[in-house]
Amino acid sequence: MLKRRFQLVALLCCFLIGLSACSKKWVALGAAAAAVGTGAYFYVKGDLKRNYEASMDKTWQAAVSAVEELKLTPESKKNDAFGGVIEGKMADGKSFSINVKRLGENSTEVGVRIGTFGDRVKSEAIHDKILSKL
């Protein structure tokens, strides 16, 4: 009986270590995708992020235009020279947020989150609309 418990505890520990390593691999994969550059999406904890080769101001205007064209309802828009956030609601009642972050003079990161856990398909649609405005 004691041997069986030890085996179960050892198995559980191996499983948890495997999960930990797995999540690190996904984060590393996201970082690698970011390093590839424009066009590469990376999905981290519900945020679908993408880097754009455009200035902060130009990317911000593209994000605002995308929200308007997709008929999303913004509740707040805040930005400065280093970044900005647009938050609001979609027609189905889910919340959305678009985070724009200046990476360099001609490089900007945009993260899109739909709802609490994220929706990759809708996030990609927003990114596609932003890209079409740049």
Which 3 state secondary structure label does DSSP give 40?
coil
CB 96 within 8 A of CB 89: yes
23 pLDDT band (50/70/90 cuts)?
very low
Cα gap 96→9, rounded to integer Å? 41
Q: For the chain, which residues make up each domain, given as ranges?
A: 1-36, 38-133
- The predicted structure's pLDDT at residue 44: 66
Identify the CATH homologous superfamily for domain 38-133: Kinase associated domain 1, KA1 (3.30.310.80)
CB 134 within 8 A of CB 62: yes
Distances (CA, A) of 96 to 29, 68, 76, 99, 117: 24, 13, 11, 10, 11
Q: For the chain, what is the mean pLDDT?
A: 79
* pLDDT tens by residue, 80-127: 999 999 999 999 999 999 999 999 999 999 999 999 888 999 999 999
Threshold 0.85, pTM exceeds: no
- The predicted structure's pLDDT at residue 46: 81
- The predicted structure's pLDDT at residue 24: 41
Q: What six digits make up the tokens of 125?
A: 């649609």
